[in-house]
Structure 1
Amino acid sequence: MALLQAGDSVGGSLHRRLREDIVFGRLGPGSRLRLEQLRLRYEVSVATLREVLPRLISDGLILFEPARGYEVAAITARELREISDMRILLECHGVGLSFLRGDLDWEAGVIAAHHKLSRMEARMLAGDRTMSEDWKRYDREFHVALVAACGSPELLAAHRRIFDRFLRYQVLLVMFRGDAATREHDALLAAALDHDAARAQDLLRGHIGACIDYTVQNGLLQDTQG
């Protein structure tokens, strides 16, 4: 059984582990989540599972139907568009607050997160796709760092939930846009250090929207918009 992180309860640890396994594709879309199999896999009680699974329903990562039980949520182009719109709203608002309040410690956190992401993107650009999960973790870390000084725990929690749902699509579809995404991250770093929220918000709209265009243009998901 994995060690608990500092401050974790058994339920909190299970929620984190299940969420990561769904987001990073170890539990794929449509997978049935049978309690006995999950109990053995995660070495927890059925009671703990019954406590945690409804939280993952609220996170939008699993579904429950009385006749079928629990299963990992499917992915669709329509949902990806909806999630992307929500991410733009939350992240642009968070950036506006964070850039206003961010201090030197916040800037240092953004720089550190960007450094890890840029090093991983350089490996991806060189053709090394063996670290794709770390690449997406660092991508999440960078975008979370941008909004970290917003001062709103509710906004940060909502952003985390919607970002993880967006991230799941990126992982499952391997949505790596190459040098264009790297340049956008560089531009976001520069905007953050300048505390230029308007520029960062424009960059974010293009950055997130380009992921949708890339997905549809490359046939990774059928475009059901209409």
Structure 2
Amino acid sequence: MSDSKTATRAGQVHDILRADILRGDLAPGEPLRLAALAAKYDASMSVVREALGRLAEHNLAVLTPNQGFRVVEVSRSDLLAITELRVMLEGEALRHSMEHGDVHWEAAVVSAHHVLERATFTLDDEPGTTQEWSDAHHAFHVALVSACDNARMLALTNSLRDGAELYRQLSGSSDHFRERDIPAEHRELMELATSRDPSAVEALARHLQRTTDDVLSTGLLE
């Protein structure tokens, strides 16, 4: 297989593995065996190894000497660390977006929010949110900060958002989660951001902290 085809296939396997981890199909701490994954995804071990390396770069997998790769563990301290950094960095990225974003950025935010509002939120027979809503939710938060002119800040916020998604899926079992008006929170973010209202940064911080509080209230983290 040529280098370009290997890279393309590694990207495909990475995307599948990432989705499986974020959905919880691959549980926190679960071993990621090269041979088993190669057989499952009909890919070479070198392709799987490259995909796992990318996951490790984004803190969704870890490589332990003599043990190989495994899905990253979850913990209360890790969630608090992720939230603290997201509030700082994603808030600053949003501030940059409001300063530098043009009408195309505004349209992207409004469009992403439109899709999010119309996505099916939950299903009665499945835990957590639907994949449709999770994808739309991710796209909306990406759109909010997409006009940020600091590429490294954006890369960090994207990595932190992936790590946070592992925890967000746990929030569905929280009573607080079911009591929240999450659509209203997203609508507020869309309206404040596109109005270039500085209070959008505080609204984002509240939104992120509420999800963290929901996860902590489940008692699932040590």
TM-score w.r.t. the length of structure 1 is 0.84
2:188 maps to: 187
1:159 maps to: 157
Q: 1:129 offset after TM fit, Å? A: 5.7
Q: 3-state SS of the aligned residue for 1:71? A: strand
1:11 maps to: 10
Letter in 2 for 1:134: E
- Distance, in Å, in 2 between the alignment partners of 1:191 and 1:56 is 33
- Give the conservation status (yes or no) of the 8 Å contact 1:177–1:214: no
1:137 maps to: 135
Letter in 1 for 2:60: L
Answer yes or no: is 1:170 the counterpart of 2:168.
yes
Answer yes or no: is 1:221 the counterpart of 2:221.
yes
- Distance, in Å, in 2 between the alignment partners of 1:22 and 1:215 is 17
Q: 1:192 offset after TM fit, Å? A: 1.4
Check 1:178–1:164 CA distance in 2 against 1; reply closer, same or farther (3 A cut). Answer: farther
- Give the conservation status (yes or no) of the 8 Å contact 1:113–1:142: yes
2:4 maps to: none
- When the two chains are superposed, the root-mean-square deviation of aligned CA atoms in Å is 2.2
2:72 maps to: 73
Q: 1:81 offset after TM fit, Å? A: 0.8
Q: 1:179 offset after TM fit, Å? A: 4.0
Q: 1:212 offset after TM fit, Å? A: 1.7
Q: 1:62 offset after TM fit, Å? A: 1.2
> Any stretches of 5+ residues in structure 1 without a counterpart?
1-7
Letter in 1 for 2:204: L
- Give the conservation status (yes or no) of the 8 Å contact 1:24–1:172: no
Pick from 143, 146, 151 the counterpart of residue 144 of structure 2: 146
- Distance, in Å, in 1 between the alignment partners of 2:98 and 2:133 is 25
- Distance, in Å, in 2 between the alignment partners of 1:187 and 1:204 is 9
Give deviations 1:23-59, integer Å, cap 9, x for gaps. 2212111211111111011111111222232222221
- Distance, in Å, in 2 between the alignment partners of 1:127 and 1:188 is 27
- Give the conservation status (yes or no) of the 8 Å contact 1:133–1:171: no
- Give the conservation status (yes or no) of the 8 Å contact 2:167–2:215: no
Question: Which deviates the most, 70-79 or 57-66?
Answer: 57-66
Check 1:90–1:161 CA distance in 2 against 1; reply closer, same or farther (3 A cut). Answer: same
- Give the conservation status (yes or no) of the 8 Å contact 1:30–1:71: yes
Matched positions, count: 212
Letter in 2 for 1:203: A
1:98 maps to: 97
TM-score w.r.t. the length of structure 2 is 0.86
Check 1:220–1:118 CA distance in 2 against 1; reply closer, same or farther (3 A cut). Answer: farther
Q: 3-state SS of the aligned residue for 2:181? A: helix
- Give the conservation status (yes or no) of the 8 Å contact 1:136–1:171: no
- Distance, in Å, in 1 between the alignment partners of 2:125 and 2:109 is 25
Q: 3-state SS of the aligned residue for 2:74? A: coil
Identity across the alignment (%): 33
> Any stretches of 5+ residues in structure 2 without a counterpart?
1-6
Letter in 1 for 2:188: A
- Distance, in Å, in 1 between the alignment partners of 2:170 and 2:211 is 13
1:206 maps to: 206
2:3 maps to: none
Check 1:111–1:24 CA distance in 2 against 1; reply closer, same or farther (3 A cut). Answer: same
